Amino acid sequence: MVTGTPATALLIRAGVEFTLHPYPHDPGTSAFGDEAAAALGVPAERIFKTLIVSVDGRLVCGVVPVRGRLDLKALAAVVGGKRAELAQAPVAARATGYVVGGISPLGQRSRLRVLLDSSASSFPTIYVSAGRRGLQVELAPEDLVLHTPAELAPIATPR
């Protein structure tokens, strides 16, 4: 049985149309996005990972395809910063309220600025973590932009 998360609660309250996709999570894996793509049989370009980044000391949320890499310089430039680095796992978990591998851009504990890679707009729906490992939420990228609120920006490079 799938239980609610802050991400799904936010979507329900907002009346957003979405589909939950649970799958069995292997506790031995650290390639969470690749695991989701394989388990769900979805092209990896449509599954987006959520990364928490420190830009000049302030946290920002970057959402990029799992087959891409977050371009830290591009993200920093979009938010008007100079230096960006991935946040440490405990910092990311504390700021979002989610465990690493289950961080959703939706329903985070802290209201972080969210940047969604512009490639998301080429799909009718995308998949992001629903707030726990082994659970993805499929929704229109426009709904993610509206309810995070996120900004579309070219922040990913191919892996």
Q: What are the extents of the domains in the chain?
A: 6-158
Q: What is the pLDDT of residue 158?
A: 85
CB 72 within 8 A of CB 83: no
Enter the tokens of residue 123.
Answer: 């799909």
**Mean pLDDT for each 10-residue chunk of the chain (159 residues)?**
82 95 91 92 95 97 96 98 96 96 95 96 97 96 93 93
Q: What is the pLDDT of residue 2?
A: 55
Q: What is the pLDDT of residue 1?
A: 44
Per DSSP, 155 falls in state -
Enter the tokens of residue 66.
Answer: 């799992």
- CATH architecture assigned to 6-158: Alpha-Beta Complex (3.90)
